[in-house]
Amino acid sequence: MVARRPGVVVSRWVVLLVFALVCAFPFGWATFTMFKADADLYTVGHVPFFYNSPPTFDHVRVLFTDTAFLTFVRNSLEIGVIVVAITLALSVPAAYAIARLTGQWGGRLAMMVFIFYLVPPTLLFLPLSRIVADLGLQDTIWALVLVYPTLTAPFSTWLLVGFFRSIPRDIEEQAMIDGYSRASAVVRTVLPLAVPGLFTVVIFTFAFTMNDFIYAVAFISSSDNMTVSAGVPVELIRGDVFFWQSLMAAAVLVAIPVALAYNFFLDRFVKGLALGGVKG
């Protein structure tokens, strides 16, 4: 077979190796930079791809001692967990209801929900700011807990519609014949089959809360309530002084658990995007 020819195999491995190096370069460069001394980083004559001076952990210590990095991480985790729970609570019943609508209305409603997700965040900023101010949630993590589901729930609903449509109605109907209510039938038969979609929603929502910068900066002003994406640059970019090594250290330390989570659930995440995109 052609696929077994040595030249074809080698060419495939070369392409994969090049692709892997390109994807891993930013992470590797950030890891390499976080241990560089100031003199090594800013001296023009030094080769940037080597440690011209001995590596140092000083900038990692700056991240933990001179900034509220651990507070930022805690706030991000709290917001992420709460927003994930709210997103699932909103999107699962909404997606199930849309998926079980017959005719063209189900598809049209699913498309309308997805269109809401496509609205640029900058257009929603002013009305959301007014709502946050009227509720007295300025400079609290609850402002982000209120705002984020308005962005994550529409996309998650559209994604889960594809999963629920791919699950035959006969499964839940048989459970209802056996004596279960519709809610119990959905929990016992439908949701276990939609686990890849639920995992996709969890990963997407949590990653969104960790990466958002616009709303985190707009609604939060005190360091005690900031998230990682907003607090790290705010405290490590002081005027025209950039603490590059500490910034890289924060990026690496936050990226490691996120990367591990993506790789651990990679198969279900890809399956979730594929089924949700095709069936929805």
Domain identity same for 49 and 79 = no
Q: Which two tokens stand for residue 96?
A: 């199930």
In this structure, the answer to whether residues 47 and 161 fall within a common structural domain is no
Quick one: 115 exposed, middle or buried, by C-beta within 10 A (0-12, 13-18, 19+)? Answer: exposed
pTM, full prediction: 0.81
Do 43 and 140 sit in the same domain of this protein? Answer: no
Q: Please check the confidence at residue 19 and state whether its pLDDT lies above 70.
A: yes
Q: Please, what's the b/e burial string for 62-77 (b: 16 or more CB within 10 A of its CB; e: otherwise)?
A: bbeeebbbebbbebbb
Print the domain residue range for 149. Answer: 67-279
* Residue labelled with tokens 């629920």: 164
Average pLDDT over residues 71-76: 93
Question: Does residue 17 carry a pLDDT above 60?
Answer: yes
Residue listed under structure tokens 């509720």: 135
**Proportion of the chain above pLDDT 70, given as a percent:** 89
Is the model's pLDDT at 80 over the cut of 80?
yes
**Residue 269's pLDDT band (cuts 50, 70, 90):** low
State how many domains the chain has. Answer: 2
Based on the fold, state whether residues 143 and 211 are members of the same structural domain: yes
Residues 32 and 114 in one domain: no
Residues 153 and 191 in one domain: yes
**211-268: per-residue pLDDT in tens?**
888 889 889 988 889 999 899 998 898 878 889 899 999 999 988 887 777 777 666 6
Query: What is the model's pLDDT at position 160?
Result: 87
Whether residue 195 is found in the same domain as residue 243: yes
Reported as a single tens digit per residue, the pLDDT across 29-67 is 999 999 998 888 888 788 788 888 889 999 999 999 988
- 204 lies in the same domain as 99: yes
